[in-house]
A and B are shown apart, each in its own frame.
Chain A
Amino acid sequence: MTFIELNNITKKFDFFKALKSISLEIEKDKLLGLIGHNGSGKTTLLRILATLSVPSQGEYLYKGEKIGNLYQLKDQTTLVFQKAKMFNRSVKKNISYGLRTKNLPKSKIEKGVEEGLELIKMQDQAEKNAKKISGGEKQRVALARAFATNPELLLLDEPTSNIDPGNAKIIEDAIKKISDEKDTTVILATHTLFQTKRLSDRTAHLYDGKIVEEGKTEKVFENPKNEKTKKFISGKLIT
C-alpha cells in the first residue's frame, strides 16, 4: 500500500487555482524534496497534506484511508512553517508542547525534550524565552518541536530560507538524521536546489500549481525530462 496517494488534487482560492490536478505517490520513510519557485503551490500542498486545509477537488489517501476532514491527521503529521512561530515561553516548553498535549508521563516528556535539544544543538539555551532567540535558532526550535512529537509525516516548508549558513547546516544535519534514523516520512519544500540534492531520495518539481516532474533525485537533477525543470535546475527559470 502506498503511504500517501494524491489523485487530481485541486485547490482554489476564489478564482485563483493554487494547485491544478496534482497526482503524486509518496513512499514511506523516504525524504521527498518539493522544489519550485515562490508561488508555485508548495505551501498549499503541504497544508493539504497536514490537513490544515482541504482540497477543492481530488482525493487524498493516507495509508489507504480517504482523508477529507480538516485536522484529521493532526496526530500523525506535523508541519514546520516557513516563518517559525514560537509560543511565548522557554525553548524547553516549546519543544515539549506536542508531548504535553499527548499527556505523556513526565519522564517521557523530559526524554523527548533532551533528544530535541540535542538534535538542534541547543542544550545550553533550554531555559531561554523562545521569542527572544534569533530567527535561525527559532527555526531550529521549530524543527525540534516537530521532531519531538515523533510524527509519521514531517512537513517542512522552506526551513532554511532567510537564515545564516551556520543555522542552516544544523537544520540540514537534523533533517538528515530524522530521515535516516526515524520511521518518519519527510517532505521538504524548498527552492534551494543543493539542499534537495543533498537530502532527498526523490524530488518533485512544482510549477504553476502542477507537478511537472517527479522521480529519483539523481535522475531529476542529472537528466530532467521536463523543459521547465531543466530551466529551473540550470537557474534559467525565474518565474
Chain B
Amino acid sequence: MKTVSFFGEGVTEALHLIVTGDPVVFTIALRSIYVSGIATLLASLWSIPVGVHLGLGGFRGVNFLRNLFSSLIGMPTVVLGLIMYLLLTPKGPLGPLNLIYTPLGISLAQSLLITPIIITFTASSIESVENDIRELAITLGASKFKSAITVLKEGINGVILSIVSGFNRAIAELGLALIIGGNIMVENSGLNTRVLTTAINMYTVRGEFNIAIALGIILLLIVLIINALTNTFRREKL
C-alpha cells in the first residue's frame, strides 16, 4: 500500500509540474527533442539512401551488408559511447571539433546509434514493395534514379516508420547521452547537455521521484504523440 501511495503522490506532483509548465521540466524536454531530432535528421541523411540501395539489391555483398547492419542494431550503447568518447575527447582524433559534452556531440553519437535501425527498416520496406514496381517505372520511361525514387515513394510508409523508430530509440537512450553529454546543467548557459533520460536517472538516484516521474511521463508522451501523428499520416496516405 505504501508503495502505491508513494507512486500516486509522485504522479500527482508530476502532473502538477507538467500542467503548471515547470521551466526546468520543459527545458529538459525541449532539449531532448532537439538533440534526438538533430540525430534523426543526420542519420536519415545517410541511412535512407543506403537503405534504399540495399533494399533494391542487385549487387554483390548486399546480403552481407544487410546482415551487418541488422546485427549492429543490437550494439551495446555503452560500447558505442566509449568509442565515441575516445574519438571526441580533446586528445582524440575528433577532439579539435570540440563536440564532447555538447548537445551536438550527443546528436552525433545518437545518429550513429540509430543508423543501423533506419538502414535495416528502410531496406526491408523497399524490398517489400512489389519487385515489378521498379520494372514498371522503367518500362514507362523512368531513369534508374527516378525508378528508385518511385519505389521509395511506394514504400514511404515503411521509411517513415524507420525514421520514427530511430527517433524513439535516440530519445530513450541513456548511456550515450551520459557518456558524451555528461548531464551538464548550468543556469543561463548554452552548454547544457541534460536531457530527459539523464535527468530521470539523476533525479531517481537523488530520490527526487516526483520530478523523475514527471520527466518519465513527458518522455512517454513524446513517444506516444509522435507515433500517433505518424500513424495518422500513414492512414491518410493509404
Contact = CB atoms under 8 A, between A and B. Distances in A.
Interface of A: 50, 52, 71, 74-75, 77-79, 81, 83, 85, 87-88, 97-98, 101-102, 145-146, 149
A81 B154 contact: no
Interface string B120-160: 00000000001011011111111110100010011000000
B140 A101 contact: yes
Given A77-B139, A78-B139, A87 B146 contact: no
Nearest to B144: A71
Contact of A85 (B136, B138, B144, B153): B136
A98 B138 contact: no
27 contacts: A52-B135, A52-B138, A52-B139, A71-B138, A74-B138, A74-B141, A74-B142, A75-B141, A78-B139, A78-B140, A79-B139, A83-B132, A85-B130, A87-B133, A87-B136, A87-B150, A87-B153, A87-B154, A88-B237, A97-B137, A97-B140, A98-B140, A98-B141, A98-B142, A101-B137, A101-B143, A101-B146
B136 A81 contact: yes
Contacts of B135: 52
Nearest to A76: B141
Contacts of B141: 74-75, 78, 98, 101-102, 149
A79 B140 CA distance: 8
Contacts of B143: 101
Interface of B: 130, 132-133, 135-144, 146, 150, 153-154, 237-238
Contacts of B142: 74, 97-98, 101
Nearest to B135: A52
Given A52-B135, A87-B154, A149 B130 contact: no
B140 A81 contact: no
Given A50-B139, A71-B144, 8 more contacts: A52-B138, A74-B139, A74-B142, A78-B141, A81-B132, A83-B132, A85-B130, A101-B140
A75 B130 CA distance: 22
Contacts of A102: 141
Nearest to B129: A88
A39 to B, nearest CB: 19
A149 B140 CA distance: 7
Contact of B154 (A83, A88, A98, A149): A88
B132 A85 contact: yes
B128 to A, nearest CB: 13
A17 to B, nearest CB: 22
A77 B138 CA distance: 10
Contacts of B153: 87-88
B98 to A, nearest CB: 46
